[in-house]
Chain A
Amino acid sequence: MLFYARRYPLGIAGALILILFVVTALLAGVVAPFDPLTTAPKSALAPPGGRFLLGTDMMGRDVLSRLIHGARISLAVALGAACIGSGLGCLLGLASGYLGGWFDLIVQRLAEMMQALPLLVMALVITASLGPSLVNTIIAIAIPLVPNVARIVRANVLALRELPYVEAAKAIGLGRMKIAVFHILPNTLAPLIVLATAQLGSTILTEASLSFLGLGVPEPYPSWGRMLSESAAEYIRVAPWLVIFPGLAISLVVFGANLFGDALRDLLDPRQAH
């Protein structure tokens, strides 16, 4: 483990940041000094310091507590979406690459269609059609991830399919399903993990953007993105901490995810020949 720390210090730093946020999110109830939802109009717009470490918002809610609980929501949504999206994409890519034929063709055309739209726009449209809710937000972020994952997994499968040991497995009579799961899947896992980690950052950002536009995580769940939209125009002058801290939280988590993802990719990429 120390070996990795020396070679990939940034990656370890990124992992630590992520762990910090995840732990905070899991222990939100314990760590947060105040209840994020109770309003206290008398302490509205208090600057950072004293009781309220990061200040309060326009309804007197403690910013720090809202940030901590917001971590829970934002991370849950992002992780959930990343897992669902990657998982679905992986299945589709596996099936598409291994089965081939008309299934492959249809999936490919569908993937191309989905890639004609930018990520955020697609998420917006899905949210628009399904209505704003926590679950719908997760779905809206997960679905745009599928075509990219499917494409990469499919390419991997196509390359692996031709390898001799797969031929050997077929020769001893192993069914297609078994081959796919036991032989091909394990070898696509490494690039898949790298891909999923790389997408973690972008799913967090997408959730934040959706919530910022008011089309993501709805009330009463605290979300970093929505915290920024609530405070935007009117309070920029008087309460800059309302703008700085939530955005800082988002940036930090995504930064950690990116650092970790980069290091992971450097580690697992077979083309690292020095």
Chain B
Amino acid sequence: MTESVKQDVALPTGWKASDSPVKRAFAKSRLVQVAAAVLALLVLATICAPLLALHNPFDPGSLDLMDAFTPPWSQGMGEMFYPLGADDQGRDVYSAILYGLRMSVFVGVAAVALSLIIGVPLGLIAGYAGGWFDTLLMRIADVQLTFPVILVALLIFGIARGLLPEGYRDDMAVFVIIVAIGLSDWVQYARTVRGAVMVEKQKDYVLAAQLIGRSQTAILTKHILPNMLAPILVIATISFAHAIVAESTLSYLGVGLPPTAPSLGTLIRIGQSFLFSGEWWILLFPSLVLLALALSVNLVGDWLRDALNPKLQ
């Protein structure tokens, strides 16, 4: 009896697999695989844009005005073949998307990095120290949250442009938009990190570290911060997608990147003027790429959150 118990006992704790369930989830979920593939393709396209593009859409000399409004998959007046058509300037939509994607991804990554750099340390300190600093920071965050992100970004954008000398405005537009989006988004990080720190700092492992006399900086960076990675990563991916959309919105509103250095948003803005005159391709293709980018980043980010949680491994 006891012998048989020992042999074929199937413990519930035996469910812990040696192979990671995250990998299994990846292998199982078609959706995540497709999203990851799409994201990889888009990132590759971003990196290799100059190689893949048919011409440099930022170089006015390479544009042929005679080819304006060439429909997709057809030959222009000259030698050029336009797989996705040409816009009102005779710019190849396919090449413009590649370069526009580059701008969008760059703005997204930089804006997320900026809001991370501001939001995470503020959230850590506010959550750990509490007191007046916490109260002050959270009230500032509350006030900022009452304004829509785009409005805050517009405000920052407007002020920054006002401060810059006229000749530099177009050159600095990229950085201004990064600062505008980054500054309008730090609140999310600060609030989430603060909440998570307040939970973590109650835990006994923090007490154990205090007991052996570790400094507050060491406890914050070595003990608490690694436990914040999962929520930070999730917000980062979601706000990366947000940042790209926000940039597109700003560009669409005409306050973002100039038409000479178009992002996906700029292309969409250009395209929508021709939507009702039959030149649908100028709007549709950049929009589809934007959609694919935002969606795949979100899906992969969701999956990554589980992958980074050691409890699920």
Query: Is B one of A's binding partners?
Result: no
